[in-house]
Amino acid sequence: MSILINTLTSKQKKVYSAIETYIKSKGIPPTVREIGELVGEKTPGAVQGILNRLEQKGVIKRQVGMARSVQLISEDNTLYANPVYVPEIKKVSRRNVDDLLNIYNINSYTPLPPIIASPAENCFLICCPDNSLFESGIKHDDLLLILMDAKLKDGDIVLILYDNHALLRYYYENVEQENITLKADTNLLGKEIFSRNEVRIIGKLKGRYTKY
């Protein structure tokens, strides 16, 4: 592989090095915009042109139509862990709750490091639907990684559907088996004890991505 790297121009080596550094530090590939920022190239088309030439020379490969799909090709494959592509859905509602991952409810597929999302797990991403756990540091429009079919324990944060509203709550078992306790930082609903029949637990919060 070092022989192939030596065939690159200085600009191509700069882009390759930026991709390599980003993957090693973040665990996922950079976007075209992020590559441009790293190498000081403001034109996405110019970055795409360099990536095309790197692909032609056999040092990277990409998946068409996928964001963050740049993979470095190396003999020992130590530079890159194959990502898990997780669907980012639009919303949770009564209409789609039984089929959240239908094609019409998926915005895109986002690559995540396998240490965060296992291929065997039933996960999706969704923008945080409310500010009920704002004091806990979870803000509206944070990107949430939700694990469906998860075994729950007291204190887990869960995404629920209640009265056609998707909400985040802390989950607790109740002494009365037919009820569960769902707590928010601010009790705007005026209740914390719910019948298991009146709420739908969509899944458990596994990860969160926020903008500063």
pLDDT digits (tens, 9 = 90+) for 64-110: 777 788 888 865 555 556 678 899 999 999 999 999 999 899 988 88
The pLDDT of residue 158 is 97
Instruction: Please spell the DSSP secondary structure of the chain, one letter per residue.
Output: -HHHHTTS-HHHHHHHHHHHHHHHHHSSPPPHHHHHHHHT---HHHHHHHHHHHHHTTSEE--TT-TT--EE--SS--S-PPPEEEEEES---TTTTT-TTSGGGEEEEEEE-TTTS-TTS-EEEEE----TTGGGT--TT-EEEEETTPPP-TT-EEEEEETTEEEEEEEEE-SSTTEEEEE-SS-TTS--EEETTTEEEEEEEEEEE---
Residue 79 confidence (pLDDT): 53
Q: Which of 2, 142, 136 is nearest to 58 (CA)?
A: 2
> Domains, the chain, ranges and CATH?
2-80 (1.10.10.10), 85-209 (2.10.109.10)
Predicted confidence at residue 4, as pLDDT, reads 59
The answer to whether the CB of 141 falls within 8 A of the CB of 123 is no
Give tens-digit pLDDT for 165-193: 999 999 999 888 899 999 999 877 888 99
pTM above 0.85, yes or no: no
- Mean pLDDT within 23-47: 87
pLDDT at 54 over 70: yes
Residue given tokens 């903008």 in the structure block = 211
Using the predicted structure, report yes or no on whether residue 111 has a pLDDT greater than 90: no
Query: Tell me, what's the pLDDT at 89?
Result: 94
Cα 163 versus chain centre, distance = 26
pLDDT tier, 153 (very low <50, low <70, confident <90, very high otherwise): very high
Q: Which amino acid belongs to residue 75?
A: E
CA 156 to chain centre: 19
**pLDDT more than 70, % of the chain:** 92
